[in-house]
Structure 1
Amino acid sequence: MIRTLRNTLPPSSFDNVVYEKNADIGGTWFENRYPGCKCDVPSHNYQFSWRKNPEWSSFFASAGEIEAYLCKLCDDEGMRTAIKTSHKILGAAWSEPKAVWELQVQN
């Protein structure tokens, strides 16, 4: 989403913020660290079409390897500046007059 917005809209037309509840990016791959945790679909299906990884270590990549892929992607694309970690969305409501989503965020 961050990459698409940056590549298609003028920077002044939007405020781009991604809220991540965890202390770092990676979603489920950051949270789940139990032994043997891995993707249950082929690794090449778990990647962005614009950022292919031909070097997956196995057909079903480990959680750590997928998390590393996501972190490297965010670093290489300069996305971390738009991501606020340790923030939890408590609620969201559409404001018709303002034409924006109004969020309740806990940090």
Structure 2
Amino acid sequence: MLQIRPAASESDAAWARRKRAFAHPTLAAGARSASKLVKREKGIWQRRYWEHTIRDDRDFERHVDYIHYNPVKHGLVSLVADWPHSSFHRFVERGLLPSDWGGDAADTTGSFGE
């Protein structure tokens, strides 16, 4: 989640540079589809994004929860705390969330769609 100042207006090129700076050290070289190679895309980025203004504290909580749980939902880890790149660790340090928040996906059965 990014907080963007209303006066700040960044070009698509600026966002592309920011994404490249993040993705380069984060991702190990791996197999990518021909489409992703041609479009110079990495597997972590969606082709589209959506902008949403947070309406209130509850809306903020829902979005943060979604972001924190995403690596579990996509099978990258079974515990939210196991994802090293998450802001979840700061929330735990500040006492805002318990370290076992989200439970263990290994204990969950079923299929949950998106």
TM-score normalised according to structure 2 size: 0.25
Higher helix share: 2
Higher strand share: 1
Normalised by the length of structure 1, the TM-score is 0.26
